[in-house]
Amino acid sequence: MTGRKLTLRSSISQVLGLIEVAYSSGGMLDASEVNNVTDVDLDILSHVIDDAEALGLLEFKEGNISLTSIGEKIAMENPKVVKKILRKQLVSVEPFKTVLKMLEEKGEIDREEVVDIIVKKSNPDDLDEAFMNFIQWGLYTNIFTYDHDDEIIKPIETGGRLSSYRKRKHKLTSFFI
Amino acid sequence: MGTEWWDVEELDELPVLLELIKVKKTYVIGKRKLEVIRDVSFKMYDGEFIAILGPSGCGKSTLLRIIAGLEKPTSGQILFMNKPIEGISPRIAMVFQSPALLPWLTALENVSLVLEARGMDKKTSMEIARRYLSLVGLAGFENSYPRELSGGMKQRVSIARALAVSPQLLLLDEAFSQLDPLTAESLRSEILDLWRMGVAGIRGIILVTHAVDEAVFMTDRIIVLSSRPTTVVKEVVIDLPRPRNRRSKRFLEILDEVYEYIS
């Protein structure tokens, strides 16, 4: 997964939706079939495919989508397991990789710092949309918490929240058990 | 709950959850009468997930609102668990096309509000709301305001709000039609998972839709309605196990069959 990144131009629901479409079509189909089944906008579909591929959920070659074993698991498992799998995939994908490294060092980071990382790693057209998607991926997979009022991101530790800088020495891996 | 599928003959052996008997709805607009629903009758069995399918404007949402007790039929009767529906029932919940969340309340508050409105204390209602938000994949989003949620997430909040009141019958009024196609697909899958897992004690789901693929993919039986004034054209049993393969021969045959009835 080295060097992989999310475009942050698609949402979790869109990525999971694509996996469901592929799974209900036998695990393999071409992009035009996705368009036929769902009538999804092709511009959006390309970003969804990129993000699903970056997460190792599918392979996209010569216009054909085929689910990986991880993608098949996502389609079959219950939401709790799906979150676990996605969390495992996300932590090695940019911009999450860099954000999590910074969280490990600083204990908490604000919106501006996250946006800087998003710009460097994903270079999205629409920053607000990218930030919203980033937050939604992180909250959905329980990687971090987000304080909507103070716009602060904090990591989640098993059994409780790491609420302050004094807990920053916790190993990164402890966030994802 | 969420049994796989039945043969047509087996349906009559199941207990009836809902029965519509010659339901008619006519609106009077000035001196004009607009007949929307004409003598619609069908049964829904315990443990069934059915679709009401028909062309846009045929009156299928009106029919659903009558089942929900939000509107009264002009004539005819609706029995829910063998008792007539007279007004809004706490055992029936509805998810609308648009999530209709209160923008000044968080996701958690939007869900807990319906419980508090039913007399539950704040602490308990918050606990239940949290549980149902988690069930629809929104753990971590409890304190998010609707403006901070995507369309799919807002609709998940409205599903959590419907489930939180522990309904026995869940009504989905084109609940996926305003979402982008992939988000809709994701949400369909989650509803099916909830149904198959038997959570929330739901004994039946009615999906109103005009999307044939959606009806065949999700439900056990399709009630096909005609254009206005609507009548039942055909009932089609979907004899396919879940999860369903859209490319299977039988799936495509059923699609063709249903398209024939609505065209």
Q: What does the pLDDT read at residue B11?
A: 65
Q: What does the pLDDT read at residue A157?
A: 64
Q: Which domain holds residue B134?
A: 104-164
A15-33 pLDDT, tens digit each: 999 999 999 999 989 888 8
Give the C-alpha separation, B129 to B134, whole Å: 9
Q: Indicate if the pLDDT at residue B7 is higher than 90.
A: no
Q: Which residues of B touch A139 (CB under 8 A)?
A: 140-141, 144
Q: What does the pLDDT read at residue A148?
A: 83
Q: What does the pLDDT read at residue B154?
A: 94
User: Can you give the three-state secondary structure of B180-211, one letter per residue?
Assistant: CHHHHHHHHHHHHHHHHHCHHHCCEEEEEECC
Percent of all residues in chain A with a pLDDT value above 70, rounded to a whole number: 87
In the listed set B128, B148, B164, which residue is the last one of a domain according to the structure? B164
SS3 at position B216:
helix
Q: Could you give the number of structural domains in chain B? A: 2
Give the C-alpha separation, A14 to A17, whole Å: 5
Query: Which amino acid belongs to residue B67?
Result: I
- Interface list for chain B against chain A, based on CB atoms closer than 8 Å: 135, 137, 139-141, 143-145, 148-150, 152-153, 179-190, 193, 197, 213, 217, 243-247
Q: Indicate if the pLDDT at residue A1 is higher than 70.
A: no
| Whether B19 and B149 share a structural domain | no
Q: Which of A17, A24, A44 comes nearest B217 by C-beta?
A: A24
Confidence of residue B78 (pLDDT cuts 50, 70, 90): very high
Burial pattern B190-208, b for ≥16 Cβ within 10 A else e, equals bbbbbbbeeebebbbbbbb
Give the C-alpha separation, B71 to B117, whole Å: 21
Query: Which amino acid belongs to residue B206?
Result: I
Over range B26-47, report the average pLDDT: 94
Q: What does the pLDDT read at residue A167?
A: 44
Cis ω on the peptide bond leading into residue B243 (within 30° of 0)?
yes
- Residue B196 in any domain: the answer is yes
B109-120 pLDDT, tens digit each: 999 999 999 899
| Whether B160 and B171 share a structural domain | no
CB of A98 less than 8 A from some CB of B:
no
Q: Indicate if the pLDDT at residue B135 is higher than 90.
A: no
Q: What does the pLDDT read at residue B36?
A: 95
* pTM for this predicted structure: 0.86
A116-159 pLDDT, tens digit each: 999 999 999 899 999 999 999 999 998 999 988 889 999 886 43
Q: What does the pLDDT read at residue A175?
A: 31
Q: What does the pLDDT read at residue A173?
A: 30
Q: Indicate if the pLDDT at residue A163 is higher than 80.
A: no
Over range B219-234, report the average pLDDT: 95
A28-56 pLDDT, tens digit each: 898 888 887 788 888 889 999 999 999 99
Mean pLDDT of chain B: 91
CB B51 within 8 A of CB B207: yes
Q: Which residues share a beta bridge with A53? A: none
In the listed set B132, B164, B196, which residue is the last one of a domain according to the structure? B164
- Residue B257 in any domain: the answer is yes
Any idea what the CATH number is for the domain that residue B20 is in?
3.40.50.300
Over range B32-52, report the average pLDDT: 95
Q: How many CB atoms lie within 10 A of CB A104?
A: 17
- Residue B97 in any domain: the answer is no
CB A7 within 8 A of CB A94: no
**ipTM surpasses 0.90:** no
Q: Which of A23, A38, A78 comes nearest B182 by C-beta?
A: A38
Confidence of residue B2 (pLDDT cuts 50, 70, 90): very low
- Residue B31 in any domain: the answer is yes
Burial pattern A1-19, b for ≥16 Cβ within 10 A else e, equals eeebbbbbbbbbbbbbbbb
- Residue B99 in any domain: the answer is no
Burial pattern B72-103, b for ≥16 Cβ within 10 A else e, equals ebbebebebbeeebeeebeebbbbbbebebee
Domain with CATH 1.10.10.10 in chain A: 12-76
Q: Indicate if the pLDDT at residue B213 is higher than 60.
A: yes
| Whether B195 and B239 share a structural domain | yes
CB A136 within 8 A of CB A11: yes
DSSP B118: T
| Whether B129 and B188 share a structural domain | no
CATH class name, domain A12-76: mainly alpha
- How close does chain A come to B154, measured CA to CA in Å? 12
Q: What does the pLDDT read at residue B12?
A: 67
CB B173 within 8 A of CB B209: no
Q: Indicate if the pLDDT at residue A164 is higher than 70.
A: no
Over range B124-128, report the average pLDDT: 94
Over range B170-180, report the average pLDDT: 93
- Residue B98 in any domain: the answer is no
Structure tokens at A39: 């009538």
B154: closest chain A residue by CA: A13
Tell me which CATH code domain A79-176 carries.
1.10.10
| Whether B84 and B177 share a structural domain | yes
